[in-house]
Structure 1
Amino acid sequence: MTGTEADAIILGAGAAGLMCAAQAGLRGRRVLLLERAGRPGKKILISGGGRCNFTNIDTAPDRYISANPHFAKSALSRYTPQDFLALVEDRGIAWHEKTLGQLFCDGSARQIVDMLVDGVVQTGGTIRCDQQIAGVDHADGRFRVTTQDGSFEAPALVIATGGPSIPKMGATGFAYDLARQFGLKVVEPRPALVPLTLGGEDVLFRELSGVATEIVARTGKTAFREAGLFTHRGLSGPAILQISSYWRHGEAVAVDFLPDRAPGWLVDAKRSTPRATMRSLLKDALPDRLAVTLAERLALEGELANLPDARLNAAAAQLSGWRFIPNGTEGFAKAEVTAGGISTAELSSKTMEAKRVPGLYGIGEAIDVTGWLGGYNFQWAWASGWAAARSI
């Protein structure tokens, strides 16, 4: 395909770009997909431990973060998890539901990539990899993209290059530079779904590296109940990754280490097992190393019978809301996704087209819509890619 034959040029052969290209092809559009990496779908391939958590059946707009919380509603309502699941089943890809609505391939993430790539190629689209973009221009209603292989032109240009999370995979902030070139505002990008780091007095918890337990993590009014994990740098695990997307520097993260215990449980334990100790009670409920550390921090020595109710209630309250003040995150290098991006105020929520630049689209992680952990970001890639494809 030469540039002049294309109806649309899509920059980025990740989840959103591939979906958009395949769906546009089904509508008879001739699509050219330009990818910087040596092969398409690299981030898909490493997702879900190599099995691709390709959607979440519990997808809903309130599970996405954006400066405009209503923006995602249109695309998500018009292209649902069931719609993508139909593609998967039509392809004969075996899948299973893990936990919390997360759907995975039984086999390999490669099956999802192959399905999408075949969808592009079989509808006449072209994928060019190893493309280094030297420039993007716009004149007379046409976009011109120049790479080392030449110049390509089309009346539509789709930005699907993602954000800077996982730079070792080749991720960059190119989408933002291009958006600014066309006068579009960008919401400051930041790492999301990322481990938090600890310093100060909390640094002692790093000694628990490798210890995991079910917790409720909270910041502000947001809370997640899943596994928490101590690392050599701080806190991780699904509950922490989830809360990291809402956390801001200087804020506390409260951790409930015993989410199934009622507020007065320690006083009740004193009545029923007066000779028990704080350490023994915690060891019954938590991993040994964590139980010992928390008991030492609470500094309640001896049998419960000898401890005042007020101190026991205070300890129970601390265990249900142990305050950590992270000193940062592990950054884009360890972030699963990027929050922020091309401002949704610049785009149509129905078509993903830039309001002030006809023919220019932004989809997927490149724009300011970020989902929860567990297949939500893939569903946004499918839905936003589909929405743009309906308009190209």
Structure 2
Amino acid sequence: MTYDAIILGAGGAGLLAAATAGQADARVLVVDHASEAGKKILISGGGRCNFTNLGTEPKCFLSENPHFVKSALKRYSQFDFLALVEAHGIAFHEKTLGQLFCDGSARQIVDMLLAECRRGGVEIRLSAQIGEIGHRDGRFTVGGDSAPNLVVATGGPSIPKMGATGRAYAIAEQFGLSVVTPRPALVPLTLGGEERLFKEISGVACPVVAKVRDVAFAEAALFTHKGLSGPAILQISSYWSPGETIALTVLTDATDHLRAAKRRMPRAHLKAALAEHLPNRLAEALAARIGLTAELGNLSDKALDAAAETLTRLTFRPTGTEGYAKAEVTAGGIDTAELSSKTMEARKVPGLYAIGEAVDVTGWLGGYNFQWAWSSGVAAGRAIGVAKSGRLGLSV
């Protein structure tokens, strides 16, 4: 069969790209080895899909070229996608930090994308092996099908149990496109040696400020039997490199809190002072780590200030991460220098596009990676649609 575009991958980016191009009269085929479209969407956000973030802006993304995301995000923003969600009558709510979730199920987002694909006459072929990709005389071939446009929307290798692979990088290599070394991102960190002191408080969570170099996130951290997790740690993991230390502030204004506790309860011990602000098990572990055993009234202000310094800069040197199996996304990917920031088309290979997680663009935790999927998918879909009919496609 001949098409105007073949899209590899039936995830968020691929489906919205297909719908956009299809609604501009392009004949589109979506191919995916999965048995169901949008499988990663379905498990996201605890099954309710954190589908975008009201605070989306370029600073919320990592890339070798931090400016690359600007064009796509501006031309199809979080508010554009929100308008599509509202047009389909999907109820949603805002959680902390601008995160938007479905009131019902993540399946509503998948159903919406499939409905938009139907509007564009898109053909979706699931449980299909992609096989070899050919390219000759300006046309790409996938199996027995061909098209002048090929869109790589196969994502990255994060969450392999969902069928994720690094196929996008092999395709990039086939067509001479460079790849920024992929690595797990938004992923728990592992600890070793004496830093496993906190293994005994596995399951304890508390608000922290996590910092690496000059990057900091103020959210919750979770102590696990392997190391550190929770939103603050997942966020900072995208910026962390092996060998670097991570600093946690577990108690802000610690000096003031400890000196006040000394005045109020001089016969109490450090654990009691910490337990006023922290979970009991964490307070006990921190008191043991600091090692002040005297009553507060018998501790000098200098000793308390030193304890406060530990509480505001509790440092860890992670041994690594929990890998792609636990990573929400993949950092790195197809080098943005190879692509047009306006259309996602490869500069050296006309008709070849890369979108979503396959590209070296990684968002923060909280709906940003979905917004990149939507924005980059629409950018490619519009480029294909304009070339076909002069129209932009997606109407909402």
Superposed counterparts of 1:1-392, under 5 Å: 2=1, 4=2, 6-146=3-143, 151-259=144-252, 261=253, 263-392=255-384
Q: Share of identical aligned residues, percent?
A: 65
Deviations 1:328-371 (A, max 9, x none): 10000000000000000000001000000000000000000000
Deviation at 1:242, TM superposition (A): 0.5
Deviations 1:274-298 (A, max 9, x none): 3332110111111111110100111
Deviation at 1:263, TM superposition (A): 4.1
Aligned residues: 384
For the residue of structure 2 that corresponds to 1:240, the secondary structure is helix
- List gaps (5 residues or longer) in structure 2: 385-396
Deviations 1:7-53 (A, max 9, x none): 00000000100010011112111110001101110000000000000
Distance 1:133 1:80 in 2: 31
For the residue of structure 2 that corresponds to 1:377, the secondary structure is helix
Deviation at 1:206, TM superposition (A): 1.3
Give the aligned CA root-mean-square deviation in angstroms.
1.0
TM-score by length of 2: 0.95
Which residue identity lines up with residue 239 of structure 2 in the other structure?
Y
Deviation at 1:262, TM superposition (A): 5.2
For the residue of structure 2 that corresponds to 1:189, the secondary structure is strand
Distance 1:262 1:383 in 2: 43
Distance 1:118 1:377 in 2: 22
Which residue identity lines up with residue 142 of structure 2 in the other structure?
V
Q: Is the 8 A contact 1:264 1:313 kept in 2?
A: no
Distance 1:18 1:206 in 2: 42
Distance 1:101 1:275 in 2: 44
Distance 2:49 2:282 in 1: 32
Distance 1:76 1:49 in 2: 25
TM-score by length of 1: 0.96
Which residue identity lines up with residue 281 of structure 1 in the other structure?
A
For the residue of structure 1 that corresponds to 2:169, the secondary structure is helix
